[in-house]
Amino acid sequence: MRLDSVPQDLPAQPLTAVVSAGLLPYPLTLHPHPSPAMRIIFIGPPGAGKGTQAERLLEYLKVPHLSTGDMLREAVARKTPEGLSAQEYMNRGDLVPDSVILSLVGRRLSEPDCAAGCLLDGFPRTVAQAESLGELLAASNQPLDGVMELRVDEEDLIQRLAQRGRADDQPDVIRQRLVAYHKQTEPLLSFYRHLGLLHSIDGAGSPDQVFARIQAVLDHLRPE
Ligand code: B4P
């Protein structure tokens, strides 16, 4: 059928309604859109709630969770070569070298479940990691949908972490993790702002209040 033979007086309605009412003069089958694959990054200082919010978001997005902190803690517990080299950095509150992180993440991202999107929690944490992630995603034609920065006052962060009491939540280690955040991770904010991907979210308040803010941003990003 030629386009100029399609009647011009079709009512202005959603395409689904037009098709199901049989108003189109040619056959057309609509296939339901598969669940959109979303790739989201969480950036924030230690204790900002990346892990806490990731738990809530996973159920909502139905994508795999890539937490480099969890991957490292598992590697440390299993005493793998990566874990053994990471441990001393984590104990001091320093970032683990990019080479270790990129090998862990590169392997995980190439697993088939990540083709359906992923939630990157605590990665990237340096501009070099962000550039490598960009290359990995471009090579597999997987776009990044958004970067969520969680903002929390430093006093609140220290209080939250002191209450949690993980091995790396000692006051001097927390201080060093904050130094590493300001020096090595904060430059990522302008990196992603320039790419038009950054969304800053107020991380103060209860986890449910913070999640409601994240959800509002996601609902704008999510393709129909
Ligand atoms: P991570 O495991 O990523 O830990 P984090 O930044 O300390 O914590 P997160 O922000 O997830 O806090 P959470 O929700 O748990 O990193 C640990 C270490 O691994 C790093 O220091 C580094 O050495 C290494 N590492 C990881 N990734 C790396 C990378 N890409 N490159 C190099 N090194 C890397 O919340 C913390 C506490 O706050 C919890 O007790 C929680 O219950 C509480 N909380 C959360 N939200 C709250 C809220 N709204 N109100 C009150 N309390 C809240």
**CA 87 – CA 108 distance, rounded (Å):** 20
Task: State whether residue 165 is helix, strand or coil.
Answer: coil
CATH code of the domain occupying 3-221: 3.40.50.300
For 198, the token pair is: 């950054």
How many angstroms separate the alpha carbon of residue 209 from the centre of ligand 1?
18
| 152-170 per-position pLDDT tens digit | 999 999 999 999 999 999 9
How many angstroms separate the alpha carbon of residue 103 from the centre of ligand 1?
21
CB of 45 sitting under 6 A from ligand 1: no
Residue the block writes with tokens 């480099």: 68
How many angstroms separate the alpha carbon of residue 102 from the centre of ligand 1?
19
Q: Is 76 a residue whose pLDDT tops 60?
A: yes
In whole angstroms, what separates CA 208 from the centre of its chain?
A: 18
- Name the strand (E) or helix (H) holding 147: strand 146-151
CB of 96 sitting under 6 A from ligand 1: yes
Q: Is 30 a residue whose pLDDT tops 60?
A: no
pLDDT category of residue 59 using cuts at 50, 70 and 90: confident
Point out the ligand 1 atom lying closest to the alpha carbon of residue 161: 37
Q: What is the average pLDDT value for the chain, to the nearest integer? A: 87
**CA 79 – CA 39 distance, rounded (Å):** 30
Q: Is 13 a residue whose pLDDT tops 70?
A: no
pLDDT score, position 31: 40
**CA 147 – CA 43 distance, rounded (Å):** 7
How many angstroms separate the alpha carbon of residue 121 from the centre of ligand 1?
9
pTM of the model: 0.84
Q: What is the mean pLDDT of residues 73-101?
A: 96
pLDDT score, position 22: 58
Of the listed ranges 4-13, 62-71, 182-191, the least confidently predicted one is 4-13
Between 154 and 23, name the one with better pLDDT.
154
Task: State whether residue 224 is helix, strand or coil.
Answer: coil
pLDDT score, position 224: 61
**CA 186 – CA 202 distance, rounded (Å):** 16
Q: Is 6 a residue whose pLDDT tops 70?
A: no
**CA 224 – CA 202 distance, rounded (Å):** 26
For 148, the token pair is: 């969520």
| 97-129 per-position pLDDT tens digit | 999 999 999 999 999 999 889 999 999 999 999
pLDDT category of residue 220 using cuts at 50, 70 and 90: confident
- Whether the CB-CB separation of 82 and 75 falls below 8 Å is answered with yes
Residue 107: how many other CB atoms lie within 10 Å: 10
pLDDT category of residue 8 using cuts at 50, 70 and 90: low
Q: Whose CA is nearest to atom 2 of ligand 1?
A: 69
